[in-house]
């Protein structure tokens, strides 16, 4: 940051934190000639269910848990507003394949309570917390990385689920242990960064063949073991389809199924945040998914002297 302030370079080659971005906005006097660029991100943070285990295989529970999360509050408090709310299709807003017609899940704690009760998740012992339909104790364990943003996210989710009678807690691991836990299906619910970029990803991340657990290892990226026969059939058709418009129509069907089944609860899609100086070059424009670090963004620049002359 000191080197950027001293004009030793023009743009940072990595994302800054939301806290730093907010400071740049709030105190421009401390960042002379330094600007913030924000663009839609490449990933969606979600709560990934291990659907091989009860009660997470219960769609009514997943829907109620999704309705009990105030994702706007989460966006405001964790990435400090520098994110889009997640939507049911699970493709990030920066993707050309993102279906903007699928809205974010509306927050409705009362409806969540009603759905839980109808599904048999009720408080039998009067302690304010619900039990499983068979009467056994219910406590959701959420695996996440041992990092401030992840832990704060889970803290908010735990509090919101408690408000509808669901007990949950975080199980934090070093970041390098998260992927092995997913690959071995050793989790109940996990805070997951999902990056769907191309139509093929709808097959590789959610087709049932990509979630088979063999010799302690998931066969593909379908870590939660999602399985839906209709989804599989349409995903296979999409893989074979050569016509781009028909392919898009099939992808839209798949996105609709995911939004209904909720194998993952989408939370938010963090922005790409870059800092740059406009003292030597003008024309900076952040590109969705990559921010300022793209050939197109660099090609749009003009030297200040040239811009003034023109």
CB 67 within 8 A of CB 109: yes
What are the tokens at 140?
A: 């959701």
Looking at residue 68, what DSSP letter applies? Answer: T
How far from chain centre, in Å, is Cα 253?
20
Tokens of 212: 């088979």
Point out which residues pair with 191 in neighbouring strands.
47
Q: What is the pLDDT of residue 261?
A: 97
Return the residue matching tokens 């917390």: 129
In the numeric block, which tokens belong to residue 270? 């963090």
What are the pLDDT digits (tens) for 48-88? 999 999 999 999 999 999 999 999 999 999 999 999 999 98
| Intervals of the chain under pLDDT 50 | 309
pLDDT score recorded for residue 14: 83
Q: Please check whether residue 271 is in contact with residue 37, taking contact to mean a CB–CB distance below 8 angstroms.
A: no
User: Residue 14 is encoded by which pair of tokens?
Assistant: 């990595």
The answer to whether residues 14 and 124 touch, using CB atoms and an 8 Å cutoff, is no
Widest distance between CA atoms in the chain:
78
Asked if omega into 130 is within 30° of 0 (cis), the reply is no
Q: Is there a contact between 267 and 285 (Cβ–Cβ < 8 Å)?
A: no
Closest to 223 (Cα-Cα) out of 236, 212, 231: 212
Determine the Cα angle at 191 with ends 55 and 72, to 5°: 100
pLDDT of residue 306: 60
Write out pLDDT tens, residues 131-182: 999 999 999 999 999 999 999 999 999 999 999 999 999 999 999 999 999 9
Q: Which domains, and CATH codes, for the chain? A: 2-40+274-309 (no CATH), 44-197+211-220+263-270 (3.10.105.10)
pLDDT at 296: 87
Rg of the chain over CA atoms, in angstroms? 22
Output phi, psi for 248, to 5 deg: -65, -40
What is the number of other CB atoms lying within 10 angstroms of the CB of residue 29? 6
Mention every residue, 6+ apart, whose C-beta is less than 8 A from residue 264.
46, 47, 48, 49, 90, 192, 194, 224, 258
CB 77 within 8 A of CB 24: no
Phi, psi (degrees; rounded to nearest 5) at 67: -70, -20
């Amino acid at each position: 940051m000191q080197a950027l302030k001293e004009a030793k370079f023009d743009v940072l080659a990595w994302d800054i934190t939301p806290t730093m971005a907010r400071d740049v906005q709030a105190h421009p006097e401390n960042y002379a000639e330094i600007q913030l660029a924000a663009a839609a991100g490449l990933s969606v943070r979600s709560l990934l269910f291990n659907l091989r285990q009860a009660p997470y295989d219960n769609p009514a529970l997943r829907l109620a848990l999704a309705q009990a999360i105030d994702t706007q509050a989460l966006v405001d408090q964790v990435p400090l507003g520098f994110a889009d709310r997640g939507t049911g299709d699970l493709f990030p807003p920066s993707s050309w394949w993102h279906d903007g017609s699928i809205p974010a899940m509306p927050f409705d704690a009362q409806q969540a309570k009603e759905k839980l009760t109808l599904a048999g998740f009720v408080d039998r012992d009067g302690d304010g917390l619900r039990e499983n339909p068979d009467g056994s104790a219910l406590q959701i364990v959420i695996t996440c990385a041992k990092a401030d943003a992840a832990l704060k996210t889970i803290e908010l989710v735990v509090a919101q689920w408690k408000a509808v009678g669901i007990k949950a807690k975080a199980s934090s691991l070093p970041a390098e242990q998260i992927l092995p836990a997913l690959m071995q299906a050793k989790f109940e619910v996990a805070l997951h960064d999902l990056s769907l970029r191309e139509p093929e990803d709808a097959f590789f991340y959610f087709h049932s063949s990509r979630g088979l657990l063999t010799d302690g290892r998931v066969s593909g990226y379908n870590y939660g073991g999602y399985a839906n026969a209709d989804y599989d059939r349409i995903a296979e058709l999409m893989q074979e389809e050569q016509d781009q418009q028909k392919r898009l129509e099939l992808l839209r069907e798949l996105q609709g199924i995911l939004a209904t089944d909720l194998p993952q609860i989408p939370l938010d899609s963090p922005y790409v945040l870059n800092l740059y100086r406009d003292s030597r070059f003008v024309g900076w424009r952040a590109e969705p998914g990559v921010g300022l670090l793209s050939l197109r963004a660099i090609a749009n620049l003009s030297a200040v002297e040239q811009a003034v002359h023109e």
